[in-house]
């Protein structure tokens, strides 16, 4: 999708008014186009400001009392509405049809989200395995976040938070760029004892569906959101041992 087709849809996307297909297409486009992504963030922030700052006025009690005291409406002539009953079963049928459509729609949506989710997890595991086998785990070797962060920022259209957690037992050893699902993604490499830990960091709007931990081909895949990013951790170390790292990554400086 090009910008000229994406731009008119960005507000509808922010309003949650697009079909699942259009939504996916826009999501893809936002991941690759900084200008449209900025438009999207701008739309979201205006929305948030309107909702936070423009008051929603509540009806005063005096008005409520006046309205309650109004005399009743005129009774409708019964004959005019009698024929409606004959068609009620049609309405019920139509409603049932609608309900089925809606359920199918949501089920399909959930299935798509789930597939996208599994796809991204297996893509991450595949990237981890590929890099390990080829001994190309690290493209920039440094434990200094002020070296790693600019290296990543200069190669991506977003700038992921980078921090060293040596004190907690997770020293930062470097980073590389991986291609996940057609998008370049920042990959931070940490060590935990003898294990390598890959952390894939993507802007949040690429994320879809729930973040449940899973094991693929013997690797643990954990996932969290925080600091406007989607964090995906792949490692052969035990999932529970890695959980504190994921938590620290996602929460940022909040607890410092």
**Residues within the interface to other proteins (CB under 8 A):** 11-12, 15, 17, 34-35, 38-39, 41-43, 45-47, 49-51, 53-60, 62-64, 66-68, 70, 72-76, 81
* Residue number, 56 or 146, with CB nearest to other proteins: 56
> Minimal distance in Å, beta carbon 188 to other proteins?
25
* Residue number, 79 or 133, with CB nearest to other proteins: 79
* Residue number, 70 or 254, with CB nearest to other proteins: 70
> Minimal distance in Å, beta carbon 140 to other proteins?
24
> Minimal distance in Å, beta carbon 51 to other proteins?
6
Residue labelled with tokens 């922030």: 45
> Minimal distance in Å, beta carbon 23 to other proteins?
15
Specify whether the CB–CB gap between 121 and 232 falls below 8 A. Answer: yes
Specify the DSSP class assigned to residue 72: P
* Residue number, 66 or 115, with CB nearest to other proteins: 66
Q: Which two tokens stand for residue 226?
A: 């925080």
* Residue number, 58 or 133, with CB nearest to other proteins: 58
CA distances from 34 to 1, 30, 44, 175 (A): 14, 7, 15, 22
Angle, helices 34-53 vs 20-32, to 10°: value is 110
* Residue number, 63 or 107, with CB nearest to other proteins: 63
* Residue number, 40 or 190, with CB nearest to other proteins: 40
Nearest to 237 by CA among 214, 220, 213, 215: 220
> Minimal distance in Å, beta carbon 65 to other proteins?
11
CB atoms within 10 A of CB 129: 16
Q: Which two tokens stand for residue 136?
A: 């190309």
Nearest to 24 by CA among 157, 182, 179, 155: 182
Under DSSP, is residue 209 helix (H, G, I), strand (E, B) or coil?
coil
CA distance 27 to 6: 10
> Minimal distance in Å, beta carbon 80 to other proteins?
9
> Minimal distance in Å, beta carbon 189 to other proteins?
29
At residue 193, φ and ψ (nearest 5 deg) are 50, -120
Specify whether the CB–CB gap between 139 and 174 falls below 8 A. Answer: yes
């Amino acid at each position: 999708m090009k910008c000229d087709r994406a731009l008119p849809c960005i507000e509808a996307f922010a309003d949650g008014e697009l079909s699942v297909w259009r939504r996916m297409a826009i999501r893809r486009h936002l991941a690759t186009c900084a200008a449209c992504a900025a438009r999207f963030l701008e739309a979201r922030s205006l929305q948030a400001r309107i909702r936070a700052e423009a008051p929603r006025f509540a009806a005063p009690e005096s008005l409520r009392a006046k309205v309650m005291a109004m005399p009743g409406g005129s009774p409708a002539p019964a004959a005019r509405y009698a024929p409606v009953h004959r068609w009620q079963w049609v309405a019920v049928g139509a409603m049932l049809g609608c309900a089925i459509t809606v359920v199918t729609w949501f089920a399909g949506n959930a299935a798509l989200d789930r597939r996208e989710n599994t796809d991204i997890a297996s893509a991450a595991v595949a990237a981890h395995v590929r890099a390990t086998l080829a001994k190309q785990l690290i493209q920039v070797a440094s434990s200094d976040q002020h070296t790693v962060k600019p290296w990543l920022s200069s190669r991506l259209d977003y700038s992921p938070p980078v921090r060293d957690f040596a004190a907690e037992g997770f020293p930062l050893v470097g980073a590389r760029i991986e291609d996940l699902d057609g998008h370049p993604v920042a990959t931070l490499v940490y060590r935990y004892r003898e294990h390598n830990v890959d952390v894939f960091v993507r802007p949040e709007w690429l994320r879809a569906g729930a973040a449940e931990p899973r094991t693929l081909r013997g690797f643990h895949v954990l996932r969290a959101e925080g600091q406007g990013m989607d964090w995906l951790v792949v490692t052969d170390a035990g999932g529970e041992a890695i959980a504190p790292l994921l938590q620290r990554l996602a929460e940022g400086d909040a607890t410092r």
